[in-house]
Amino acid sequence: MLNISNTKINIRRVWRFSAIKRVERYEAGNVLSRLILFFLIVFILAMFLPWTQTVQSRGKVTTFRPEQRPQNIQSGISGRIEAWHVQEGDFVKKGDTIIRISEIKSEYLDPQIIERAKGQVDSKKQAIESYRDKVNNLENQILALETTKRLKLSQIQNKLEQARLKIESDSMEYQAAKVDYDIAMAQYERLVRLYEQGLKSLTSVEKRKQTLQKARANIIAKENKLLISRNIFDNLLVELNSIRAQFDGKIAKAESEKNATLSKLYDAEGAVQKLTNQLANYTLRSNMHFITAPQDGFVTKVYRSGVGELIKEGTVVVTIMPASYQLAVEMYVRPIDLPLLEKGQHVRIQFDGWPAIVFSGWPNTGYGTFGGEIYAIDNFTSPNGLYRIMVKPDPHEHPWPEALRIGAGTRNMVLLKVVPVWYEIWRQLNGFPPDYYKPEVKDDSK
């Protein structure tokens, strides 16, 4: 005792209490030491228990395919709301009308705009047929002119050949007349010498002179005939060139008119294409007066209300959630954890709203979690600085809840290497990342 107080304790009276007797027993210290030794042995054994390393992150439920995610239905044209055919929560099938709108632009207000556009297209097509008929007629005319030209040229060629032969014949006659004249001249001169010698009479000389004059007249006639034949030949050459030039001019004129008609034909065909395009645009625009559901789904939210409200092109009208979809989990991990992840790794998922008991190091002992596999890993960071990981359901485990909806939150644990507990504590105290390892790839071919 410290003897601080002057009051004395009656030892005999204290020993009457059983609690004091039990505390004073020596067996209490033995039990405490045994308990400490037992818990120490249990703690040491627990340090060698297997511990599964994990990479934990938050995420949300989504879908793999873009068309299975919530769809914002937009208006393709500007217009005025005329009637609503759905309300929030309704189930619509593909092609069902959601809203009907009317035109507000002045160039589309004509109710007969499609019929008028069709009439313009038909008129232009008839003009094209007329141009084609005219082109065919001009081609026939050109063919006829070329045929006539060939016949005319062939005829003139024949006449030229005849004229050439006539020139040769007249030339030969002219040469024969010159020979006759030379012979007559020689005979006349010889008779004159004989007459001067008194051997021939004057009558013979005069007769020979008469023959000489006839030979001279004959040569002049033959020369004149030759000149006439040459003149005829030259006239035929001029006529040949004239016919060629005449028909070439007519053919060139017909070709020019044909080309002009073809130019008009091509312009008309271009106008038909333009009008056809315009008609197709009018038809498609008329179909846009009815905004329809692109696929089966539920109307989740209506962004415009009332009748008579004006909407612009591209304005979101309603949101539709597809009726059938394939769920996936979108999770984000830190860049330091990205090298530890590969496709096919197993993931334990806890969905918001589903009760679960989770043991991080012993995932098999947990309750309420669902299995998944890493399906895709982004090669670049998201705007939040993390890498996005896509997880699909594990076909070898219990299927995900049917009541699960897109957008629900998740807590995810990517299962890594199994290590002892003491190693995991040492790693956490030193701030080291989980161990890098290659996961075993499942062989589904068996």
CATH of the domain at 237: 1.10.287
d(CA 410, CA 352): 6
SS3 at position 437: coil
| 399 vs 110, residue with greater confidence | 399
Residue 142 lies in a domain: yes
Per-residue confidence (pLDDT) for residue 18, from 0 to 100: 64
415 and 403 in one domain? yes
- pLDDT tens, 156-197? 888 888 888 888 888 888 888 888 888 888 887 887 888 778
User: Predicted confidence band at 398 (pLDDT cuts at 50, 70, 90)?
Assistant: confident
For 7, which DSSP code? Answer: P
Residue 394 lies in a domain: yes
d(CA 313, CA 5): 96
Q: Which of 257, 283, 309 is the last residue before a domain boundary? A: 283
Phi-psi category of 3—alpha, beta or left, where left has phi over 0 and alpha has psi -120 to 50?
left
295 and 275 in one domain? no
301 and 277 in one domain? no
d(CA 172, CA 256): 50
Per-residue confidence (pLDDT) for residue 187, from 0 to 100: 81
Q: Which of 228, 255, 283 is the last residue before a domain boundary? A: 283
Tokens of 371: 């299995």
Whichever domain contains 83, its CATH number is: 2.40.50.100
Number of domains in the chain: 3
Residues 408 and 60 sit within 8 Å (Cβ to Cβ): yes
Least confident of 53-62, 338-347, 391-400, 423-432: 423-432
> Does the structure show a pLDDT above 70 at 361?
no
353 and 329 in one domain? yes
In this structure, the number of other CB atoms found within 10 A of the CB of residue 281 comes to 12
Task: Give the residue numbers spanning the domain of 220.
Answer: 113-283
> Does the structure show a pLDDT above 80 at 359?
no
174 and 88 in one domain? no
- Please name the amino acid found at residue 334: R
C-alpha to C-alpha distances, 131 to 59, 110, 425, nearest whole angstrom: 69, 31, 93
Tokens of 157: 């060629």
Residue 9 lies in a domain: no
d(CA 177, CA 172): 9
d(CA 54, CA 56): 6
> pLDDT above 70 covers what percent of the chain?
87
Q: Report the pLDDT averaged over residues 421-441.
A: 68
Q: Mean pLDDT, the chain, as a whole number?
A: 81
Residue 45 lies in a domain: no
The candidate with the shortest Cα–Cα distance to 49, out of 435, 436, 419, 416, is: 419
Q: Report the pLDDT averaged over residues 201-219.
A: 82
Helix (H) or strand (E) holding 297: strand 297-302
Residue 32 lies in a domain: no
C-alpha to C-alpha distances, 303 to 75, 291, 317, 432, nearest whole angstrom: 12, 14, 5, 50
Per-residue confidence (pLDDT) for residue 167, from 0 to 100: 85
258 and 161 in one domain? yes
Q: Report the pLDDT averaged over residues 295-315.
A: 85
> Does the structure show a pLDDT above 80 at 346?
yes
Q: Report the pLDDT averaged over residues 30-59.
A: 79
SS3 at position 357: strand
Tokens of 317: 């009208």
d(CA 244, CA 340): 93
What residues pair up with 418 in beta bridges, in sequence order? 52
> Does the structure show a pLDDT above 80 at 54?
no
What residues pair up with 59 in beta bridges, in sequence order? 331, 410
245 and 128 in one domain? yes
> Does the structure show a pLDDT above 60 at 14?
no
272 and 370 in one domain? no
d(CA 435, CA 426): 13
Residues 300 and 71 sit within 8 Å (Cβ to Cβ): no
261 and 394 in one domain? no
The candidate with the shortest Cα–Cα distance to 167, out of 235, 214, 216, 213, is: 235
> Does the structure show a pLDDT above 80 at 28?
no
> Does the structure show a pLDDT above 50 at 13?
yes
User: Predicted confidence band at 437 (pLDDT cuts at 50, 70, 90)?
Assistant: low
272 and 157 in one domain? yes
User: Residues for the chain: how many in total?
Assistant: 446
Per-residue confidence (pLDDT) for residue 50, from 0 to 100: 76
Whichever domain contains 379, its CATH number is: 2.40.30.170
Q: Report the pLDDT averaged over residues 357-362.
A: 66
d(CA 412, CA 391): 10
In this structure, the number of other CB atoms found within 10 A of the CB of residue 320 comes to 23
299 and 371 in one domain? no
Per-residue confidence (pLDDT) for residue 362, from 0 to 100: 64
Per-residue confidence (pLDDT) for residue 365, from 0 to 100: 62
228 and 119 in one domain? yes
- Backbone phi, then psi, for 201, in 5-degree steps? -90, 165
Per-residue confidence (pLDDT) for residue 1, from 0 to 100: 46
| 445 vs 138, residue with greater confidence | 138
For 119, which DSSP code? Answer: H
The candidate with the shortest Cα–Cα distance to 242, out of 153, 150, 146, 148, is: 153
- pLDDT tens, 72-108? 888 888 888 888 888 888 899 988 888 888 888 877 7
d(CA 364, CA 346): 12
Per-residue confidence (pLDDT) for residue 366, from 0 to 100: 64
For 407, which DSSP code? Answer: T
Q: Report the pLDDT averaged over residues 304-309.
A: 80
Residue 36 lies in a domain: no
